[in-house]
Amino acid sequence: MNRAILEALVAARDKGLSVVLATRLDTGEEHLIDVRAAPKTAIGEAARVAATRDKSAPVEIDGAPWFLNVFNSPPTLYIVGAVHIAQPLSQMAALAGFEVTVIDPRTAFATNERFPQLHLITAWPDEALADLPMDHRTAVVTLTHDPKLDDPALIAALRSDAFYVGALGSKKTHAARIERLKAAGFDDAAIERIHGPVGLNIGAVSPAEIPVSILGQIVERMRKPDAA
């Protein structure tokens, strides 16, 4: 390994960037790839896939043996709506290793008393998300039931590489949401990225059980992106 590459890798990790170190095992040739700016080459594409799966793996490219070592930034969860469910969801997600931000312009909801030691943003979701990094390590969940707050967040999420997009609400609420997003120009493939009604169907009822089902679904999407 080249010492300059090691130093660049450590510096990238310090900055919170997601990078992949590609090493050709028969020659020692190596490339450090920034996932957000991965080149449109076979190695760049393989690195992007490995990073999305958060899985280091050997791959064969043009008949040569490579190893792709993934150094991802921690996963990020943006929760839109500082509602009751957001309290246990933010705590559980932080325990699971997510960097959590709660977004709600309603200052009565988004208070430090209700969300101690958490990154809170009291701005409109589309403005807040425009300033936050969104990539293959990002999950977005909307919890307000209010189209004025949820829809702009969902639109921002669908325009990003977010690996998970979820929206709380009944089937009826979700059907109405789909119609609005279609009217806003999103096609079926984009809309299918939204998990709604949100969460795994575990019969969750209480304000703590519902986050269990949501977080379970987020982890499933992160770890088994290919599963139906």
Partner 1 sequence: MITDHDKVLETAKDWLAQGHQVALATVTKTWGSAPRPAGSQLAVRADQTFIGSVSGGCVEGAVIAEAVDTIADGKPRKLSFGVSNDQAWSVGLACGGQIDIYVERID
Q: How many residues bind partner 1 (CB under 8 A)?
A: 24
CB of 1 to partner 1, least distance (A): 5
Residue 74 makes contact with partner 1 by CB under 8 A: yes
CB of 92 to partner 1, least distance (A): 17
Residue 175 makes contact with partner 1 by CB under 8 A: no
* Inter-residue contact 161 to 135 (CB < 8 Å): yes
- Residue ranges in 19-38 that form contacts with partner 1 under rule CB under 8 A: 23, 25, 28
Q: Beta strands 119-121 and 138-142: pairing type?
A: unpaired
Residue 220 makes contact with partner 1 by CB under 8 A: no
Q: Which residues contact 228 (CB under 8 A, 6 or more apart)?
A: none
Residue 55 makes contact with partner 1 by CB under 8 A: yes
Q: Rounded distance, CA 70 to CA 59, Å? A: 13
Q: Rounded distance, CA 98 to CA 118, Å? A: 12
Helix axes 86-95, 209-223, angle to 10 degrees: 40
Q: Beta strands 138-142 and 194-195: pairing type?
A: unpaired
User: Which of residues 139 and 143 has its CB atom nearest to partner 1 in the complex?
Assistant: 139
* Inter-residue contact 24 to 66 (CB < 8 Å): yes
Residue 63 makes contact with partner 1 by CB under 8 A: no
User: Which of residues 59 and 190 has its CB atom nearest to partner 1 in the complex?
Assistant: 59
CB of 185 to partner 1, least distance (A): 36
Answer for which of 31, 34, 49, 56 binds partner 1 (CB under 8 A) is 56
Residue 52 makes contact with partner 1 by CB under 8 A: no
Q: Rounded distance, CA 32 to CA 20, Å? A: 6
Give the interface with partner 1 as residue ranges (CB under 8 A).
1-3, 6-7, 9-10, 13, 23, 25, 28, 54-58, 67, 69-72, 74, 97, 223
